[in-house]
């Protein structure tokens, strides 16, 4: 079992964002940075009909749907609580894989409008995993054949021992 304590954090890549919209914009900005892209993001206005974010790129409107995978609901609750807190996890990689698969299944069942192209970005809040473990988890994710996305990317924030920063893993299309 791994025991982790999270403290309240201000808004930046490695730290807490206070609203769903700030979180989605922050993940979108991190995605652009990890992919070496530039552009301005705007938040979708019609939840459930429009994707979370819109990016204008090369005269196209790209809709980006954002999902977040946690080790479990307790971690999510602690991370979104103003005072931080403490959470424990057994078999973290299996729980992260299960959560990422759930997000993938949920998002791939939806349809969106008002975008020329759709991307899905799932942020892995795998704070206890290293890059090798994340790469191994990704091998076990199953993608539904009929999904609306032209790109599916998993976003991960490696430990400093793995170089830190932001890593983007292409789940679809494989490159």
Q: Are 54 and 117 in contact (CB under 8 A)?
A: no
For residue 10, what pLDDT is reported?
Answer: 38
User: Per the structure, how many domains does the chain have?
Assistant: 1
For residue 90, what pLDDT is reported?
Answer: 62
Closest CA relative to residue 48, chosen from 111, 101, 106, 105 = 111
Q: How far apart are CA 167 and CA 31, in angstroms?
A: 9
175 residues of the chain, pLDDT tens digit each: 333 333 333 333 335 456 888 889 999 999 999 999 998 899 988 777 899 999 998 889 999 999 999 887 666 666 656 666 655 556 778 888 999 999 999 999 998 989 999 999 999 988 888 899 999 999 999 999 899 999 999 999 998 888 889 999 999 998 6
Per residue in 86-97, is it b (16+ CB within 10 Å) or e — as a string?
A: ebebeebbebbb
For residue 92, what pLDDT is reported?
Answer: 75
Burial class (CB in 10 A: 0-12, 13-18, 19+), 66: buried
Strand partners, 120: 65, 152
The Cα-based distances of 1 to 47, 57, 141, 150 in angstroms read: 37, 45, 24, 38
pTM confidence score? 0.81
**Joined tokens for residue 60:** 């196209």
Q: How far apart are CA 2 and CA 94, in angstroms?
A: 13
For residue 104, what pLDDT is reported?
Answer: 96
| 174 Cβ contact list (under 8 Å, min separation 6) | none
Domain range spanning residue 120?
2-172
């Amino acid at each position: 079992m791994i025991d982790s304590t999270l403290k309240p954090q201000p808004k930046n890549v490695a730290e807490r964002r206070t609203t769903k919209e700030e979180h989605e914009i922050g993940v979108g900005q991190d995605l652009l940075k990890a992919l070496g892209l530039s552009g301005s993001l705007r938040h979708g206005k019609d939840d459930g009909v429009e994707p979370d974010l819109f990016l204008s790129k090369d005269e196209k409107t790209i809709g980006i749907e954002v999902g977040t995978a946690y080790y479990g609901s307790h971690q999510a609750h602690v991370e979104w609580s103003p005072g931080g807190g403490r959470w424990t996890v057994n078999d973290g990689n299996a729980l992260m894989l299960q959560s990422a698969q759930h997000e993938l299944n949920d998002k791939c069942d939806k349809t969106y409008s008002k975008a020329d192209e759709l991307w899905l970005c799932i942020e892995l809040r795998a704070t206890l995993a290293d890059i090798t473990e994340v790469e191994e988890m990704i091998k076990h994710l199953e993608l539904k054949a009929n999904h609306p996305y032209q790109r599916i990317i998993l976003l991960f924030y490696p430990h400093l021992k793995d170089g830190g920063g932001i890593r983007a893993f292409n789940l679809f299309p494989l490159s």
